[in-house]
Amino acid sequence: MTNNSIPTTYIPLEKFHIVPLTGLSPAELKISAKRTSRDREKITHTTKLNAIAKRLGITGGFAAYEKEYNGS
């Protein structure tokens, strides 16, 4: 039996939100933001993307992360 599943790393955000990361490309982070599990409070998609970028050490939000990732 082979295991073809994608390895997942979890990043905790504030307010009990957990983001499953399967990759670091901007497209993969957008998918991860959609799959975020929450316990109490709602959080918008854009806020999740900005929080993920911040947890990865990028200031300036997700737009800055995309620029950094693409080398611009």
Q: Which domain does 64 fall in, by range?
A: 10-70
**Is the per-residue pLDDT at 46 higher than 90?**
yes
**Would you say residue 64 lies in a domain?**
yes
Q: What is the pLDDT of residue 1?
A: 46
15: in domain? yes
Q: How many domains are there within the chain? A: 1
The Cα 70–Cα 2 span in angstroms is: 34
Task: Classify residue 22: in a domain, yes or no.
Answer: yes
Whole-angstrom distance, CA of residue 67 vs CA of residue 39: 31
Specify the pLDDT at position 43. Answer: 87
Structural domain contains residue 35: yes
- Judged against a pLDDT cut of 50, whether residue 28 lies above it is answered with yes
Q: Is residue 5 part of a domain?
A: no
Q: pTM for the full model?
A: 0.82
